[in-house]
Structures are given as structure tokens and as C-alpha cells.
Amino acid sequence: MNAAFGGVLLGVGILLVLDALRRPSLDRIIRRHGPSSEVDPGRLVDVITGRLGGVPSDLLILGLSARDHVTRRLVFLACGVVGPFVLLGLGPYVGFRISGTSTIVLFTSSVAVGHAWPEWRLKSRAREARTSFRSSLSAYLDLVAIQLAGGSGMDTAFVAAGRVGDGPAFASIAAALEERRVTREPLWTVFADLGDRLEITELTDLASSVKLGGDHGARLTASLVARARALRHRQMSEVEAKANASTERMGLPMVAIFLGFLVLLGYPALDLINNGFA
């Protein structure tokens, strides 16, 4: 049976190869029907990158490129495709066999996991990076408020505060402010554009505060202090919610252990009662 199936696959493969050799090459078809006589090999890479590159804001906040993410997804997908065949090939040598239905389920699950795992991991890491960015943003706003209270100008305060920290959030803000020195854009547009690219609403709100505050240092300082306090309060609320959820999940194993203990205690008594009636 296996030999016959292998022979059929070999024959189909030979027919496909012969059919491909009889057809004209892709380069010749494009030269005949395409608008130009040159083939751009990077065009296909750009198309694949656009389809599988993930969300640009997630890649940007993690400092990754779309091609790196596509490469990772293709590697995981290849592992998901090849893994079941390797397992099936090693099965007879280690003493286990898998039925046809189990093979289909295993192959489908492996491909699905290989395809979805990199994207899910990217979103999870981007979510953690945004949480860390908000924590750094509250510290950045406090530094800006201190600079403004000390008599610094608005531009000087934002630039100097961005150069103090060394984390990813401070680096992103400092880089955006350095670009502003070349483009001569208003200060609030820097934070609005950065908030849109990273999908962080707190930066967009900061841009609105800077735009409304204008040159009024005292009013802007009070607004930044209040915004930093609100960010810290929100972060503490999220931390408490996660701690409470973790505490509730920790109770489930204890309940399972208690139920198992009751089963171990009650089974001998139930067995004695059953034998007595028998």
C-alpha cells in the first residue's frame, strides 16, 4: 500500500516537472505581455512583506522590520509543515503509529500554530512594550514639568527631558524631537505623529495639551503634572487588577487538589458499600 502510494506520488511529480519544462519561462511571459522587459525580484518580496509583515505600529514599537517578521513567520510555518512528517517518519522506529484522522488533525494543528504563533507573539510583545512606554512617559512628563518649573523654555524642556532617560520610550521621543529640529514642525505635531505611529493614545493626548497650553508655562506645567499622575494611577490600577486575577487563578489548583483528596477518601468507602450490597 505504501509502495503504491509512493509510486503514484512519484509519477505525479514527474508529470508536473515535464509539464513545467514544456511551458515558457516566467521571464519570457513577462517580457511578452508585461509593460517592461525587466523583472524586479524585489517586487515579490515586497508583496509578501506587505501581506505577512504584521501591524506596522507593533513592529515599530519593538524596533523590528517587516522583513524580519516575515522571515520568522515563514520559518515557523515551515516547521509546522515539516514537523508532522518528521514525527510520522520516526513513529515506526520508536514504537507508535498514528491513524489517518489523527494525522490530519496533527498536520492541521501544526500548520495553524506555525502560522499564528509569530503573529500572536508579536502582538503580546507589542502590548507589553506599550505598557512599558506609558510607564516611561509618566516619568518623562515629570521631568518636563521640573524643567518648566525651573524656568526653561518649552522646546528646551521637552528636548532636555528626552535626553535624560536611556529606555526605548526616551529614545523614541528624543529621536522624534531631533527630527523636528530639521523639519521645523510645531512641537505638538511631533507627539501626535508619534502617537499615531505607535498607537499610543497618551501621546496624542499630550499633543493636545501642548497645543492648548501654548506658551503659557504655568498652565502647561500643571497639565503635565496632572497627566503624569493620571498615568501612574492607571498603571497601578492595571497592576492591581492583574494581581487579583493571578490570585484567583492560584485558587483553582487548590480546589482541584481538594476535590482529588475527597475522591481518594471516598472511593474506599463507596467500594465497601458496593461490595456489601453485592
Three cell numbers at 117? 504563533
Q: Is the pTM of this model over 0.85?
A: no
d(CA 14, CA 1): 20
Domain boundaries along the sequence of the chain: 131-235
Within a 10 A sphere around the Cβ of 163, how many other Cβ atoms?
A: 14
Query: Which is higher by pLDDT, 46 or 185?
Result: 185
pLDDT digits (tens, 9 = 90+) for 79-132: 888 887 777 777 677 666 777 777 788 788 888 888 888 888 999 999 989 988
> What was the pLDDT predicted at 33?
47
Three cell numbers at 51? 501581506
Locus of grid cell 520610550 = 169
- 3-class DSSP state of 201: helix
pLDDT over 90 for what percent of the chain? 2
Three cell numbers at 223? 497639565
Name which of 194, 216, 211, 212 is nearest 203 in CA terms.
194
d(CA 217, CA 212): 11
Burial of 115 (0-12, 13-18, 19+ CB in 10 A): middle
Average pLDDT over the chain reads 77
pLDDT digits (tens, 9 = 90+) for 215-239: 565 677 888 888 888 888 888 888 8
Residues in the chain, total: 278
Strands (E), 205-269: none
> What was the pLDDT predicted at 37?
42
